[in-house]
A and B are shown apart, each in its own frame.
Chain A
Amino acid sequence: MKKIKSILAILLLSGCVLSVSAQDTWPATDNSPMDMAYFPVDYPILKIRKQAPETPVVKVIYSRPTKKNRKVFGELVEYGTVWRLGANEATEIDFFKDVKIGNTKIKKGRYTLYAIPTQEKWTIILNKDNDVWGSFAYNQKNDILRTDINVQKITQPVEVFSMMFEKTNTGTNLLIAWEDVKVALPISF
């Protein structure tokens, strides 16, 4: 791991050094492209229709790998290890007001979201170390919250890793789905 990390370092840094000189080549779109979801759902569209509250409540920004006939949970995404909930940069969640997850008060601001999936439950982690790549440098010291949520089986498989919000009586659920499972993280405000 250490060795691969230093190889990575050299390669990435040489890329940066080389790229300072000019804008000759342009980066291609990503294979696991980024996406975002708001609550209220589709806030930006509501906003230009003048149907939105003054600020959104929460926004999640994540990257979307595709299943492509692979076994995801237990193989591609290993059980029991910290996962960035997507691909590329770690998933980011931005709260525009103070909220509660379970009994924990979460202050307005942005955080990195990880999960430790197992067959029956996922541990959702909110961590205050932002602007990070993957879960390589994840440090439990910076956790704000760890909470367990139950895995639900879904009948219609989800090909592309997906997140969205749904309205609930107490606020919203962040729904996360891929392959044949779904989890719901309740957020109240």
Chain B
Amino acid sequence: MSPRSARLGDAAHAAPVFAALGDATRLALMNRLATGRPHSTAHLALGLPVTRQAVTKHLEVLSHAGLVRDFRRGRERLWQPEARRLDEARLYLRAISRRWDEALARLKTFVET
């Protein structure tokens, strides 16, 4: 594990995305969109304890944070997660991957000495 460095610049850049995700409804919407397939506003609103108008507002917040984008198909407004999400998932794995590299290097030293 590498020491956690306080990089204020990074944190400031990251803040808008964390703010966008820091809401239960928006998290639920992101989880519904996580399949990668486009969903209509109506479909995303199903079963959520908020109005469809509120869902639209939440989706717009996510869109401003670059987490989703929308397009029209006929009269429907469809939403899908940004492809960048995949890159972020890779970054996440890379961070964990690095920690395994470090741990296994320590294990190697430990069993070989």
A and B bound?
no
**Chain B residues within CB distance 8 Å of chain A:** none
